[in-house]
Amino acid sequence: MASRIVFFGPQGSGKGTQAEFASHALRVPVIATGPIFRKSIAEKSELGVLAASYIQHGRLVPDSLTIEMIRKRLQEQDVNNGFVLDGFPRTSAQFNALWEITTMDAVVVLELSDEEAVSRMGGRRLCANNHQYHLTYKPPTQEGICDVDHLPLTIREDDVETSIRERLEIYHRETEPLIEQFRVRGTRVIVIDAKPPIVEVRKSVATALGISL
Ligand code: AMP
């Protein structure tokens, strides 16, 4: 069974949710760069201070910082049996750096139109511990409150229209071509329609990866 998986998909495709699901089902950690950066910003760590303005404006954090962060993370013991990547690699430099560290078993691509992505992102909410919700597709039990830790839910600072458009543009220009790079190097690429409800997409992900629900 594949256990080194990378998720691709535009903002709003449910990539974070599906990557979490795969990580639990496979009992391997999820390594999600966006949440790591947001945590670093909240903690005002050195990485957070350096990354903050890029993230706020919907731009990519420089490769040097991002690659170093992932390189360190992939040296930890808990990734020995596999891991799920969410949000990395996003550029060809990141792809090359990852390839030097390890090969991946499968790439899961969640496909969604830009129109749908923009409309979905308007409803995204999250708590300070990065538990994610959507007002329509994954609402919390109590309005505005996280089900898990009861913290208030907020809108991500970069989920504003201009930043959303910028991030989608970067996704198509810089990140999407990497899928082909994986394919030509022999990594299995699984393409899944991300338009159906979360549970349906989850079933497709599970079937494709051979994991039970
Ligand atoms: P995400 O939560 O995956 O949408 O990421 C939020 C933001 O974090 C992105 O818009 C980027 O500014 C930054 N970020 C996340 N992953 C990367 C990456 N692999 N390379 C550069 N910047 C990243």
Rounded Cα–Cα distance for residues 61 and 35 (Å): 13
* Ligand 1 contacts CB of residue 66 (under 6 A): yes
Q: Which residues are catalytic?
A: 15, 90, 124, 156, 167
> What is the pLDDT averaged over residues 119-125?
88
* Ligand 1 contacts CB of residue 12 (under 6 A): no
pLDDT attached to residue 159: 83
pLDDT attached to residue 30: 97
User: Which pTM value belongs to this model?
Assistant: 0.90
pLDDT attached to residue 161: 78
Peptide bond before residue 89 is cis, with ω within 30 degrees of 0: yes
pLDDT attached to residue 1: 53
At 63, give phi and psi (nearest 5°).
Answer: -55, -40
End-to-end CA distance of the chain: 15
Q: Are 106 and 187 in contact (CB under 8 A)?
A: yes
Give 169-182 pLDDT, tens digit per residue.
999 999 999 999 99
* Ligand 1 contacts CB of residue 120 (under 6 A): no
Question: In 10 A of CB 68, how many CB atoms?
Answer: 13
Instruction: Between 118 and 162, name the one with better pLDDT.
Output: 118
Give 2-52 pLDDT, tens digit per residue.
599 999 999 989 999 999 999 999 999 999 999 999 999 999 999 999 999
> What is the pLDDT averaged over residues 144-168?
90
CA 120-37-133 angle, 5° bins = 30
Give 43-100 pLDDT, tens digit per residue.
999 999 999 999 988 899 999 999 999 999 999 999 999 999 999 999 999 999 999 9
Rounded Cα–Cα distance for residues 104 and 82 (Å): 9
Strand ranges (DSSP E) for the chain?
Answer: 4-8, 30-32, 83-86, 106-111, 124-126, 132-134, 188-193
Residue nearest to atom 1 of ligand 1 (CA): 34
- Kindly report which listed range (140-149, 150-159, 193-202) carries the lowest average pLDDT score: 150-159
Spacing, Cα 14 to ligand 1 middle (Å): 15
